[in-house]
Structure 1
């Protein structure tokens, strides 16, 4: 496995987590039990949360390194070759001479525009003994940001703790409740969640109050983003500024107030935010910060093909935004744009854009696209 040349002027990110081969079949509608149906299209492509997110980040121009494990089989070799072709450094992969590489059957329903995934893990699984200390130190050398998708958790936690010792910022992809998630979250500087995770983890009664709970329970975290599919995203950013408690506002009231400032006629992603204020969640507590509401592009039904990997594309874009110091008002619409572009073709990586894509040009300026603020 060769290592792509490092572009010294660009940040280096290290990802640790899941890769797979995705076997994608599009069907007119999801089959009933015992049905026999034909696919309308078929694609075999690399997948996995970490594999997709790092591919996205590499196409956007970051130096991307990925640690994972495959077998020395046709699927494993295909995974590595595809990642290398996109400029991802796979020299820190573990390759087993026995077993199987991970793969996923993905059934894309043309009628409902949903996808169903059936995953077969790789074997033997990655374990801490697969990490030689010298290899780990080399993988972390010069890294600006580390990313973990909470898969391969025993091994990934070894890497995460070493990254934290070196004071590297860490982003955690909290897709669902998994073994090791609590320990990863305690190491995190940034967290991106799927829509159900904040409430599942915090037991809070609403998404906004769950974000407050997460910042209170995770004092090192700078921001938490929850992705909401076609409804965009919500982000709570911690502020270290002193805020008078007299300005305290109930966070559950804030989203609807902020949405009044969104131009309903605008189809491209945008973002609105509160001022820095004291945000209170009933029965939970309060934090100083800003709440952001990000919108998603309204994709015409005729253009929406497959949502597989849209969340990974969003996270890859957030990695880029952090590394290039994008303000949230710019980063959230940019990430939403990349994610919606990826939904216009079959497979998680087929239409992932490169940074030179003209569809991204309006989102890459030096100033935020739209900043609407309102006080509490």
Structure 2
């Protein structure tokens, strides 16, 4: 059968809106109450102008976005299947790409002025490293989104204070035999990391937090076994996100080493199937909530359910930003008490 004889696929809804990991996460943070500033590059085309207008409407500072007089802004077509709840992304990277010369020292210093936290999705590694080095010199903590292995990502990871990883990244990066062992390995390899999170979609997330306690009384515990014991505490009948935490122990990953810290298991919200519209941007929403939580000083036990609640809200609308909640959302009220 030739492609010419295939019936056209019906499309029920079309939404055109801004995207990109960092832009989505900062939009989420801004709606929650953060002062957000984005460093990026777009073209002076219809998509670029729309991106700026949308970010500014959400309160994101766009003064450090470089606007190229020529070229084309990045663009992604996202096809959402209502029946299978899957999505297909067709990405056009745009041009010209951001380079370090787009961010002279004066603009870099302006971008970091008053910053309490810097977040990277590392899509433009050279310019990201330039910002990361300056942020480190100014003792500004760094959160990195480790979605997949990228050129230049390792250099930024070495400077990071916090990391959020996709489900596959920790083991792919460390070659550890399990997720929990991989998280322990990441803390050992990256001594500046205070915590690392791996997101698991509907299966929640896992966080390993470094603790500075050096008491000889700390019990040495296998990370895999500890994770399994936390999983047994879950109550699958509970719809709202929860968090289960270990005490501070010497977390051991066999053949890798030990690190003093805690292991936390966060659950996702159990969303009724008919309420799930689109999972696009759910990970960015989670990251945006973590950005807010770090800046607000939330402990991990509160941060993980909060981020899961925000991500669940995103899944209830079409597009990466439509469902991002505002601080006034009643579902978030318990977290702001």
Name the TM tier (shorter chain).
over 0.9
Q: How far off is 1:254 after superposition? A: 1.2
Q: Which has the higher mean CA deviation after the structures are superposed, 258-267 or 169-178? A: 258-267
Residue in 1 aligned with 2:239? 267
Select the structure that is richer in strand.
1
**Contact 1:244/1:278, CA 8 A, preserved across alignment:** no
Q: How far off is 1:263 after superposition? A: 2.9
The whole-number CA distance in structure 1 between the counterparts of 2:42 and 2:305 is 34
Q: State which of 88, 100, 106 in structure 1 corresponds to 2:72.
A: 100
**Secondary structure in 1 aligned to 2:269?**
coil
The whole-number CA distance in structure 2 between the counterparts of 1:97 and 1:85 is 23
Q: 1:304-343 maps to which residues of 2 (within 5 A)?
A: 304-343=276-315
**Contact 2:218/2:248, CA 8 A, preserved across alignment:** no
The whole-number CA distance in structure 2 between the counterparts of 1:87 and 1:246 is 46
**Secondary structure in 1 aligned to 2:16?**
strand
The whole-number CA distance in structure 1 between the counterparts of 2:47 and 2:90 is 16
Q: State which of 99, 106, 110 in structure 2 corresponds to 1:134.
A: 106
Number of aligned residue pairs = 334
The whole-number CA distance in structure 2 between the counterparts of 1:340 and 1:120 is 28
**Contact 2:281/2:319, CA 8 A, preserved across alignment:** yes
**Secondary structure in 2 aligned to 1:43?**
coil
The whole-number CA distance in structure 2 between the counterparts of 1:286 and 1:122 is 44
The TM-score with structure 2 as length reference comes to: 0.97
**Secondary structure in 2 aligned to 1:65?**
coil
Residue in 2 aligned with 1:212? 184
Coordinate RMSD, CA, aligned: 1.4
**Contact 2:218/2:249, CA 8 A, preserved across alignment:** no
**Contact 2:162/2:194, CA 8 A, preserved across alignment:** yes
The whole-number CA distance in structure 1 between the counterparts of 2:38 and 2:22 is 8
Q: State which of 125, 132, 144 in structure 1 corresponds to 2:97.
A: 125
The TM-score with structure 1 as length reference comes to: 0.87
Structure 1: which 5+ residue stretches go unaligned? 1-30, 366-376
Q: State which of 273, 289, 296 in structure 1 corresponds to 2:261.
A: 289
**Contact 1:128/1:154, CA 8 A, preserved across alignment:** yes
Q: Does the alignment pair 1:175 with 2:147? A: yes
Query: 1:299-358: CA deviations, max 9, x gaps?
Result: 111000000000000000000000000011100000000000100000010010011110
Select the structure that is richer in helix.
2
The whole-number CA distance in structure 2 between the counterparts of 1:88 and 1:129 is 23
Residue in 2 aligned with 1:39? 11
**Contact 1:212/1:280, CA 8 A, preserved across alignment:** yes
